[in-house]
C-alpha cells in the first residue's frame, strides 16, 4: 500500500480530541494483521475515555474499539486469515497464552489490551488499524456470506456485554427481569433476555422517554418505565407483584440507577451491573442489598457467547438494526462524539463509515 498517512480521531488528553493525520499502522509482530476499517461505532466507554473517567487510561490514543475490517496485510505467522477476508473484531486483543488468558479473563491479558483504551493498542476510529494476535481464538470473526457489517458490528461488544450481564446474573427461562438504562447495551440486554434467554417479563427503565418507547415498540421489552416521571418501584410491583423482579441488570452507570436497581429486585434476587461509572468510588446501596440478600454481580465481558449470538443473527432471531440511529463517515466523527456523548438527537448508536475524500 502506497498510502503513508491516514485520518484518525486522536484524544491527546481528557476533553481534547480531534481528527488528525497520523502514520498508517505497520506490521510489528509476525502474528499481526492490518485491516482497513469498513465500519466502526462509537461506544459509551469511548466517551468515558475522552472525559478522563477511566482510571487506567493513557494518552494520547487513537480512539475506538467497535469495528469491522477488510484484511489488507498479514504477518508471516498468520495462518487462519488472508488478505481480503471480512471480519468483525473483538474490542480487545489477547494472546491466549498468558496466565490471565488461561484463566479465561482475556480482558486482563498482560500482552494485549482494548483497542483505543486500556493498554497500548491504537483504536479503530481511523482508516486502518493493526490487530495483534490475529490467530488467537475469536480475535477476528469472519463475517458469514450474506451478512453485512451492520448485521454484526454490535456482536463482540454491545451484545457480548449484554450476554455477560445476563449470564452473570444467572437469568433463567421464565424469570422476570428489569433493565435499568436502555442505551445500546441496555437495549441489547433486553433483546437477548427476551429472544435467547426466554425471560417471562422484560421491563425497560430509563430517564429518556424515547428510549423507553423504542424498547417496547421494537418488541424487546414487555413494559417500559420512565424513571423521570414515574415511581419505578410502585410500577414494577404493579407489573410483577409486591416482591419485585427476579433479576435486575443495570447498564446506566449512575448512582441513582444502582439504587433503583436494588429497590426493585426481589429478596434473594440478583443485581448485575456491566457499567463503567463516572467515579471509581461512589455510594452503593449495600444495606438494601444486604437486608434483601441480593447477590451483586459485576465485571467486564470476556466475549463469551459469540458463536451462539452469531448463529442467532444468521437465523434472524436477533437483529440490532433498530438501535442504529445515526450513520456518518469518519469525516464527521467529532460531531458523532458530541451527539452520542450527550444523548442528543435521539442517538442510540452512531456508526462510522470510511473516510470520504
Percent of the chain with pLDDT over 70: 99
What confidence score (pLDDT) does residue 53 get?
87
Q: What is the pLDDT of residues 333-354, one digit of tens each?
A: 999 999 999 999 999 999 999 9
Say if residues 26 and 3 touch (Cβ distance below 8 Å).
no
- pLDDT > 90 in the chain, percent: 84
Give phi and psi for 349, each to the nearest 5.
-140, 130
Whether residue 293 has pLDDT greater than 90: yes
In this predicted structure, the answer to whether residue 104 has a pLDDT above a threshold of 90 is no
The ranges of the chain annotated as CATH 3.90.180.10 are: 5-154+320-353
Would you state the pLDDT for residue 221? 99
CATH number, domain 158-298: 3.40.50.720
Handedness of CA 278, 281, 287, 290 (dihedral sign): positive
Q: Select the more confidently predicted residue: 298 or 213.
A: 213
Q: Could you report the per-residue pLDDT of 131-182, keeping only the tens digit for each?
A: 999 998 889 999 999 999 999 999 999 999 999 999 999 999 999 999 999 9
pLDDT tens for 205-238 read: 999 999 999 999 999 999 999 999 999 999 999 9
> Which long-range CB contacts under 8 A does 253-259 form with residues at least 24 apart?
253/44, 253/181, 253/277, 253/278, 254/181, 254/278, 255/282, 255/283, 256/227, 257/180, 257/181, 257/227, 258/284, 258/285, 259/283, 259/285, 259/288
Give the predicted TM-score (pTM) of the model: 0.94
- Every domain range in the chain assigned CATH 3.40.50.720: 158-298
Question: What CATH fold (topology level) applies to the domain 5-154+320-353?
Answer: Quinone Oxidoreductase; Chain A, domain 1 (3.90.180)
Amino acid at each position: 500500500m502506497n498510502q503513508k498517512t491516514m485520518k484518525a480521531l486522536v484524544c491527546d488528553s481528557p476533553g481534547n480530541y480531534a481528527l488528525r493525520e497520523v502514520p498508517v499502522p505497520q506490521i510489528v509482530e509476525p502474528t499481526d494483521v492490518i485491516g482497513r476499517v469498513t465500519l466502526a461505532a462509537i461506544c459509551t466507554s469511548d466517551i468515558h475515555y475522552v472525559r478522563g473517567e477511566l482510571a487506567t487510561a493513557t494518552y494520547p490514543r487513537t480512539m475506538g474499539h467497535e469495528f469491522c475490517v477488510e484484511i489488507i496485510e498479514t504477518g508471516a505467522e498468520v495462518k487462519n486469515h488472508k488478505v481480503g477476508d471480512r471480519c468483525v473484531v473483538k474490542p480487545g486483543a489477547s494472546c491466549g497464552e498468558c496466565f490471565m488468558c488461561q484463566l479465561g479473563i482475556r480482558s486482563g491479558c498482560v500482552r494485549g489490551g482494548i483497542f483505543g483504551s486500556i493498554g497500548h493498542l491504537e483504536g479503530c476510529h481511523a482508516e486502518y488499524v493493526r490487530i495483534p494476535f490475529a490467530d488467537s481464538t475469536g480475535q477476528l470473526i469472519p463475517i458469514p456470506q450474506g451478512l453485512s457489517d451492520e448485521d454484526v458490528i454490535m456482536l463482540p461488544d454491545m451484545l457480548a456485554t449484554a450476554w455477560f450481564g445476563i449470564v452473570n446474573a444467572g437469568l433463567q427461562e421464565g424469570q422476570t427481569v428489569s433493565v435499568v438504562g436502555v442505551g445500546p447495551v441496555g437495549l441489547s440486554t433486553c433483546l437477548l433476555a427476551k429472544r435467547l434467554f426466554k425471560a417471562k417479563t422484560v421491563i425497560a427503565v430509563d430517564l429518556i422517554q424515547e428510549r423507553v418507547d423504542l424498547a417496547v415498540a421494537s418488541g424487546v421489552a414487555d413494559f417500559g418505565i420512565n424513571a423521570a416521571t414515574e415511581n419505578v418501584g410502585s410500577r414494577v410491583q404493579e407489573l410483577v407483584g409486591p416482591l419485585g423482579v427476579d433479576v435486575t441488570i443495570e447498564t446506566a452507570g449512575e448512582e441513582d440507577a444502582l439504587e433503583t436497581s436494588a429497590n426493585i429486585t426481589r429478596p434473594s434476587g440478583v443485581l448485575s451491573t456491566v457499567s463503567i461509572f463516572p467515579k471509581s468510588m461512589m455510594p452503593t446501596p449495600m444495606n438494601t442489598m444486604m437486608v434483601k440478600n441480593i447477590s451483586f454481580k459485576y465485571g467486564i465481558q470476556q466475549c463469551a457467547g459469540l458463536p451462539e449470538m452469531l448463529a442467532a443473527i444468521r437465523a434472524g432471531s436477533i437483529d440490532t438494526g433498530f438501535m442504529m440511529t445515526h450513520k456518518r463517515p469518519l469525516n464527521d466523527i467529532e460531531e458523532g462524539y458530541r451527539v452520542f456523548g450527550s444523548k442528543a438527537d435521539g442517538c442510540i448508536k452512531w456508526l462510522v463509515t470510511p473516510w470520504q475524500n
